[in-house]
A and B are shown apart, each in its own frame.
Chain A
Amino acid sequence: MSEILKVRNITKSFGGLTAVNNLSFDISPGETVGLIGPNGAGKTTLVNVLCGSYYADSGEIEMDGKRITRMKPYERCHLGLSRTYQIPRPFPELTALMSVVTSALCGKKRINRGLDDAGAEATHYLEFVGLFSKRNILARDLTFFEMRMLELARALATTPKLLFVDEVMAGLNPGEANKAVHLIARAKEEFGLTIFWIEHVMAVLMEAAERIIAIHFGEKIAEGPPDEIASNEKVIEAYLGSGWKGKAHA
């Protein structure tokens, strides 16, 4: 019962392609868990299944002892589950402040919440990600990095317990990526989050994550502390291919 998220034998297939195959893992409160895998390994599908965008074909998901396998995304959000998207999906016609206000209004149920109260709270989250000066700019006019940050603010404003971060580094330059990583670490401390971090780049997770799960073709191939994962034969094979040793010698 101590786990915040329990995943048991999740399978999801699209037609003949099995994107996630018989995957099981746990996440404890306060942890930062990384999920890595090569292209097409099923990372984003897994997040979509956990957040409710897709329903799993079989298997069970439990959050805080509640079965959420067939729950709709908004119900999972009310339980304290939030996500960011790999490609930023802001609300293009809303200002930065208003998009965060919506998630402060609609996220986890809070007592005596009016539009103004949500506005005041949203301001705090916008300031946290450093977008306060851009609050009245339409979300579609923000830069790529700012859209990322806006997504983070929007996810934080629902007051989640568990935050899924989907490839926050993709498309950012090293300076911005560094900022983003520090911000997520700060958010974890300040808001007491548990973070499930999907990433393509190993180096980031080596620093940030306490435990890494590696998947390939939808199956778990390794799980453990970052150092172990980095030297794991199967992981290296998944990333570089099976013939890499022989070719390196030849």
Chain B
Amino acid sequence: MVDAEIKRDRIIIRHKGKKWDWMLEPRYWRNTMIWTALLVVFPIISYFVSPILLTTVITANLYAAIAIPLALMTVGTGRLNFGPNFFIGVGGYAAALLSIAYGWGPLKTLPFAFIFSMASALLFSPLVILARGLYYVLLTLLLPLVFMEVTFIYTDIFKGDVGLSGIKLLVNLGRVKLNFLACAYISMALMLLYLLVVNKILKSRYGLIMATINDDEEVAHGIGVNINKVKILAFIFPAGMIGVAGWFYAHYFATFAGITYLPLSFMVKVLLVIFIGGRTQVFGCVVGGYFIAFLEMILISTLGEIQPFVFPIILLILLFALPEGLFGIYRRRRYREYLPTLHVRR
């Protein structure tokens, strides 16, 4: 029996002797509202002003939609996964192959992309228990590269060299510009949904438990945290979320090639989103995603040939100059404790 109770500032849910409370605190919502409104207005303005920006917005949203679950995975497993693009590959190929084979639309392939990437994560989940430190980094780094080799070896299935084509489009409204606008809003909805879910998880008791695992696994085990369960769940669930980003790529471009997403260059960009935005700060992932997508776009359009050199140099300078990332600047100025300070009266 689930028993829900609505109070002034929270919803309390009870089930079998367990209790969850969902804090509703509108006084903390103002900044979130302002930023969300700005984000939502941006594509519609660029639709009328310069539609070329829409592709950049989509890229930025997808960078953020990959980085946000990766931040959750990093906190929950206490290890930095260097191969998030493996799950993009799994989700994307699952969606692409199913869409081509059965002629399925994006809505039908979505659950399969999610489930397949979670299953692949479940297959590799012993990594988070057995490997730690540099070994975990190396093993996760190898996963997408090995997967890329597989797409070349079994090229009759995966079409590793030319890429799969003939996937159903995400939306088809008849006009290219409108399609891009719709894709921009779908990607933004995906990103905002991830932001909401991951932020809620990180601010709840599970986030606190993950934080202890991140800090000291052995001690966390000693105070009663079932660390293996938490780590495996924190590996599988974000993996499914990242796989959905792969699903989006497959249906957005109507083609999917592993060589675009599986190599190191794509992975480095995703990691930079996390580091420039602010380590494991979910809001920082959005800042970082937009920053990197727009920086890349501006440099490509202004610098031309020397862009491949200037882009990493700027990022390196930023990595040294901003150890806490772009979001860290904001956070340092206006830091808030999550829980209001408890007052005990005598």
The answer to whether A94 has its CB under 8 Å from any CB of chain B is yes
Does A82 touch B at the CB level, under 8 Å?
yes
Is the beta-carbon distance between A123 and B208 smaller than 8 angstroms? no
Interface status of A183 (Cβ within 8 A of chain B):
no
In the bound complex, residues from chain B placing their C-beta under 8 Å from that of A234 are none
Q: Is the CB of A103 within 8 A of B223?
A: yes
Which of B19, B211, B221 contacts A72 (CB under 8 A)? B221
Closest A residue by C-beta to B339: A119
Are B216 and A91 within 8 A (Cβ)? Answer: yes
With an 8 Å Cβ cutoff, the count of chain A residues facing the other chain is 45
Which residues of B are found within 8 Å of A118, using beta-carbon distances?
A: 205
Within 8 A of A (CB), among B119-175: none
Residue of B12, B204, B219 with most partner-chain A CB within 10 A: B219
Q: Is A74 touching B224 in the complex (CB atoms < 8 A)?
A: yes
Q: Jot down 9 A-B pairs with beta carbons below 8 A, ordered by A.
A: A52-B221, A53-B222, A91-B212, A92-B216, A101-B208, A103-B223, A113-B18, A115-B339, A155-B223
In Å, the complex CA distance between A112 and B190 comes to: 34
The answer on a CB contact under 8 Å between B222 and A73 is yes
Known: A91-B215, A102-B212. A113 touches B19 (CB 8 A): yes
- Asked if A36 CB lies within 8 Å of chain B CBs, one says no
Tell me if B192 counts as interface (CB < 8 A to partner A).
Answer: no
A106-B337 contact given A92-B215, A94-B212, A112-B18, CB 8 Å threshold: no
Residues of B within 8 A of A107 (CB): 223-224
- B14's nearest neighbour on chain A, judged by CB, is A112
Contacts of B223 in A (CB 8 A): 74, 77, 82, 102-103, 106-107, 154-155, 158
- Does A98 contact B208, Cβ atoms closer than 8 Å? yes
B218: contacting residue among A53, A123, A154, CB under 8 A? A53
Give A residues with C-beta under 8 Å from B: 51-53, 72-74, 77-78, 82-83, 85, 89, 91-95, 97-99, 101-103, 105-108, 111-120, 123, 127, 132, 135-136, 154-155, 158
Known contacts A74-B226, A91-B211: does B221 contact A116 (CB below 8 Å)? Answer: no
- B interface residue count range (under 10 / 10 to 19 / 20 to 34 / 35 or more): 20 to 34
CA–CA, A106 to B342, complex, Å?
A: 20
CB contacts (< 8 Å) of B224 on chain A: these are: 74, 77-78, 103, 106-108, 158
CB contacts under 8 Å to A, within B262-309, are none
| Residues 164-212 of B contacting A (Cβ, < 8 Å) | 204-205, 208-209, 211-212
Closest chain B residue to A85 by CB distance?
Answer: B219
A216 to B192, CA, bound (A): 61
Known: A91-B215, A127-B344. A115 touches B204 (CB 8 A): yes
Contacts of B216 in A (CB 8 A): 89, 91-92
In whole Å, how far is B10's beta carbon from the nearest beta carbon of chain A?
Answer: 8
Q: How far is the CA of A115 from the CA of B20 in the complex (A)?
A: 8
CB distance from B23 to the nearest CB of A (A): 9
Q: Which residues of A contact B204 (CB under 8 A)?
A: 115
| CB nearest neighbor in A for B211 | A94
* Residues of A with C-beta under 8 A to B12: 114
For the complex formed, measure the closest distance between the CB of B96 and the CB atoms of chain A, giving whole angstroms: 40
Q: Is the interface of B mostly helix, strand, loop or mixed?
A: mixed
Interface residues of B, Cβ cutoff 8 Å to A? 12, 14, 17-21, 204-205, 208-209, 211-212, 214-216, 218-227, 337, 339, 341-342, 344
List 16 additional A-B contacts (Cβ < 8 Å) besides A91-B211, A106-B225, A112-B14: A52-B221, A53-B221, A91-B215, A91-B219, A91-B220, A92-B215, A93-B211, A94-B208, A102-B220, A103-B223, A106-B220, A114-B20, A114-B205, A115-B205, A115-B208, A120-B342
Q: Which residues of A contact B222 (CB under 8 A)?
A: 51, 53, 73-74, 77, 82-83
Chain B residues closer than 8 Å to A103, beta-carbon distance: 223-224
Q: Is the CB of B225 within 8 A of A116?
A: no
User: How many angstroms between the C-alpha atoms of A123 and B204 in the bound complex?
Assistant: 18
A106 and B209 within 8 A (CB): yes
Q: Are A73 and B342 in contact (CB under 8 A)?
A: no
A118 CA to B18 CA, complexed, in Å: 12
Q: B341 contacts which chain A residues (CB < 8 A)?
A: 135-136
Q: With A and B bound together, what is the CA distance between A68 and B221 in angstroms?
A: 15
CB of B212, distance to nearest CB on chain A (Å): 5
- The distance from the CB of B307 to the nearest CB of chain A, in whole angstroms, is 37
Query: Quick check: B21 and A115 within 8 Å, CB to CB?
Result: yes
* Cα of A106 to Cα of B219 in the assembled complex, Å: 12
Smallest beta-carbon distance B340→chain A, Å: 10
Task: Give the complex CA separation of A101 and B211 in angstroms.
Answer: 12
Is A116's CB under 8 angstroms from B21's CB? Answer: yes
Asked whether A111 lies within 8 Å of B20 as measured between CB atoms, the reply is no
* Residue from B14, B215, B219, B221 in contact with A93 in the complex, judged by beta carbons closer than 8 Å: B215
B334 CB → nearest A CB, Å: 16
Docked complex Cα distance between A106 and B224 (Å): 5
CB pair B205 A105 closer than 8 Å: yes
Q: How far is the CA of A93 from the CA of B20 in the complex (A)?
A: 24
- List the B residue with the shortest CB-CB distance to A91: B215
**A123 cross-chain contacts in B, Cβ below 8 A:** 342, 344
User: Across the interface, which residues of B come within 8 angstroms of A135, CB to CB?
Assistant: 341-342
Q: Which residue of A lies closest to B12 (CB)?
A: A114
